[in-house]
Amino acid sequence: MKKHILVCTVLCTLATTLYTGCKKDETVHTPGNLSVSPASALPETFITITGSDMDDIVSIKFDTTVASFSSVFNTSGSLFTTVPTNARYGSQPITITNRAGITSTVDFTVLQPAPAINSFTPGNAPPGDTITITGKMFVNINAIYIGTKKAIIIDSSSRFTTKIVIPVGAVSGLLSVVTAGGTSYSAGALTVGERAYLIADFDGAGLSPNGNSWYGYGDITGKAIASSNPDPLSGNFIKMISNQSGTAGYGGISTYPNTTADKTFGMTSAKEKTILKFDINNNGKTGTQIQAIVEEVATSPKNNYAKTVSINGTGWNTIAIPLTEMLDSYGGGSTTPTPSKIITVKFHFPNKSNPMEANIDNVRFAWEKN
């Protein structure tokens, strides 16, 4: 009988031990003593949250934005996560939640990345016109400037584009976008004072912005980008010199077609209100003549419209040729070009009777509103 009682006692003790060992730990953990390193960071930055009793964490939020994390690498004393890409910028709580629904918070600051300006259009416009700026991180904009003049912001609803109106009193200058994340400057200046399609300033702006976008042909000594001899009007310019001993009988420089498919420049202005403008310096060669040419897309042959001008003055001169004065057949015809069909711009020495030199800058089509 005693033996039977002993066996029962042993079995009960063993069962109790097994039950206790297998029973799930129902201890309630309350996360606390939280700190975060670093205490502020840009989106997509890896951070560490340290503290105590951080077991069974199922959620990490930056304010209301859920962050991703892997429980494999987390411990009761540290959590690893990344600042979400779409987190709200500025000071905010990081909230961690465990499986029991208990939360704890720690203060953190999501830093805003600096903005970036990629481009703006149009590149030339008078006060009162609207400029569209494209780029990224146009968030929490404090101000936009043209040079040192504050512009009028009329649309800042997108992270990637913003629109401004040129204020009265603005002068040509770089655009700058100022946000909580920093300041970004445009690569080139906005020209205030005229509406224009910029073909080239030879400093990197325009549809054919540099020497690689132009080619030389015929009786010239070559085309070159220069910044001296003569002194520049602003930055770089393109130089061509006539070759009086050449045999072609013509020579000049030209933009390459916009694409191999003869894509047009995309101008939509009326021909009666459009002017080909460029700055030119003959560098002392006062007998210089230039034939300004625009080429219009056609089946075959392409239509070439031209006007010849004499460059007799010294220094830099601005030449303005209305499209209504540029005639087909290299100036010998009677029709004028249509802005929406123009694909190339050329400058041509019409003869070799005198030593001639052309230094050309700021090639553009100026226009008035229809």
My answer on whether 187 and 201 are in the same domain is no
My answer on whether 181 and 326 are in the same domain is no
My answer on whether 179 and 237 are in the same domain is no
List b or e across 29-54, with b for residues whose CB sees 16 or more CB atoms inside 10 angstroms. Answer: bebeebebeeeebebeeebebebebb
Distance CA 366, CA 321 (A): 10
List b or e across 217-247, with b for residues whose CB sees 16 or more CB atoms inside 10 angstroms. Answer: ebbbbebeebeeebebbebbbbbbbbbeeee
Contact between 112 and 179 under an 8 Å Cβ cutoff? The reply is: yes
My answer on whether 131 and 76 are in the same domain is no
Q: For the chain, how many structural domains are there in total? A: 3
My answer on whether 247 and 359 are in the same domain is yes
What's the confidence (pLDDT) of residue 299? 56
What's the confidence (pLDDT) of residue 10? 43
What's the burial of 124, exposed, middle or buried (CB within 10 Å: 0-12/13-18/19+)? buried
Residue 14 lies in a domain: no
What's the confidence (pLDDT) of residue 260? 56
Residue 103 lies in a domain: yes
My answer on whether 208 and 241 are in the same domain is yes
Residue 5 lies in a domain: no
Residue 356 lies in a domain: yes
Residues of the chain with pLDDT under 50: 1-3, 5-8, 10-12, 14-24
Residue 1 lies in a domain: no
My answer on whether 132 and 256 are in the same domain is no
User: Hey, which residues does 155 pair with through a beta bridge?
Assistant: 163
Contact between 106 and 174 under an 8 Å Cβ cutoff? The reply is: no
My answer on whether 343 and 211 are in the same domain is yes
Q: What is the CATH number of the domain that holds 346?
A: 2.60.120.430
Give the residue from 47, 82, 110 where a domain finishes.
Answer: 110
Residue 7 lies in a domain: no
What's the confidence (pLDDT) of residue 347? 97
pTM, entire model: 0.63
What's the confidence (pLDDT) of residue 298? 67
Domain membership of residue 205 as a residue range? 196-367
My answer on whether 225 and 348 are in the same domain is yes
My answer on whether 243 and 286 are in the same domain is yes
The upper half-sphere exposure of residue 56, i.e. CA atoms within 13 Å in the direction of its Cβ, equals 12
Q: What is the CATH number of the domain that holds 71?
A: 2.60.40.10
My answer on whether 350 and 240 are in the same domain is yes
Per-residue pLDDT tens for 268-319?
A: 889 999 999 999 999 999 999 999 999 987 655 668 999 999 998 889 999 9
Cα–Cα nearest to 220, from 363, 348, 314, 309: 348
What's the confidence (pLDDT) of residue 261? 60
Residue 27 lies in a domain: no
Give the residue from 110, 129, 156 where a domain finishes.
Answer: 110
What's the confidence (pLDDT) of residue 314? 86
My answer on whether 203 and 340 are in the same domain is yes
Residue 19 lies in a domain: no
Give the residue from 110, 143, 176 where a domain finishes.
Answer: 110
